[in-house]
Amino acid sequence: MMADKARPVLITGGAGFIGANLANHLASRGHAVRILDDLSRRGVDRNLAWLCAQHGERIDPRIADVRDREVVRAAVQDVAAVFHFAGQPAVTTSLVDPRHDFAVNTGGTLEILEALRAVPAPPPLVFTSTHKVYGCLPDLALRFEGSRWRPVDDAVLAHGIDEHRRLAFRTPYGCSKGAAEQYVLDYAHSFQIPAVVFRMSCVYGPRQRATEAQGWVTHVLSRAIDRAPITIYGDGFQVRDVLFVDDLVDAFVRAWTQIEMVRGHAYNLGGGPRSTLSLFELLDMIEQLRGRRPHVRFEPWREGDQRYYVSDTRAFAAATGWQPRIGPRAGIEALHGWLVERALTPWEASHGC
């Protein structure tokens, strides 16, 4: 299936980190991009200003909440695809205000689904979930080796966690995203909406304005550049697979253009076993980049933390041919360059859509 350029593409949360990177990719290739975003996350207005400065009338911003039923119904009309990224993204925030977390992540997703169900021929829907739907993985046997935890099971070590893993929602965030993804999968079957779910691991890259609660690679690197102390929750040996945002954008486009191959499925998506980092290994890499090791302090493990999570991406690769191309070192060097040079430019401060 060829990407449809005759109709706009809708990206909810399109001013955010992932949304802005996808919007830039699509607009650069001639697509009109409709962005639905309430701009509630600090700094994303700069991403929207950047998109407008880069692409002008190809960007159609609609500043509204994804829970606004009438706005959502109008936004899905005549679109070629919907990428639904709008949501509350942090575990810690969900623990403070579970009602808001549920209302945005689950309720907002249901508004998107219901709006699509009312469309005579619903367009493809790509939804971003999270690896947190698998919980804390307390039964995953680990051994300590070198600067990281490693699985005892050789198959998990070689390939990561696959989609056959039992769902075990933990924290309000895990519950709200898990419930939302199950609605997406059910609407794909009950109402024939061509939808696919990505259970994503750790994504990083330019235009990410991370916090301690979300976007750990960018947060740690930003703190190091500012010579500010870094708080490590746990022991620092916990491992994640990391995925550079350009590779994620490639996966999104493949899912859209090959929707008949992936509709109705949930896929684990991340850098996979070849793109893993422990927190201490990231600090080592930063020391090599900066010539100075960041100062760290330690706090207890947080609710819902996993000592090890790596995505098994073989199912999505088999369906679409996708493979990540940018390894951690190249990606972190690229992100470091962007962070160092990200001082505000005049158009970021003064131009809007």
Q: How far is Cα 273 from Cα 176, in angstroms, rounded to an integer? A: 27
Q: Could you write out the DSSP letters of every residue in 260-296?
A: HHHTT-EEEESS-TTSEEEHHHHHHHHHHHHSSPPPE
Q: How far is Cα 266 from Cα 264, in angstroms, rounded to an integer? A: 7
From 173, 204, 267, 309, active-site residue: 173
| Residues 275/142, Cβ–Cβ less than 8 Å | no
Residues paired with 269 in a beta bridge: 200
**Is 173 labeled as catalytic in the residue annotation?**
yes
Please list the alpha-helical segments (H only) found in 37-121. Answer: 44-55, 69-75, 91-96, 98-102, 108-117
Q: Could you write out the DSSP letters of every residue in 59-70?
A: EEEEE--TT-HH
Q: Which residues, 6 or more positions from 55, have their beta carbon under 8 angstroms from its beta carbon?
A: 23, 24, 27, 28, 33
Q: Which residues are catalytic, by number?
A: 173
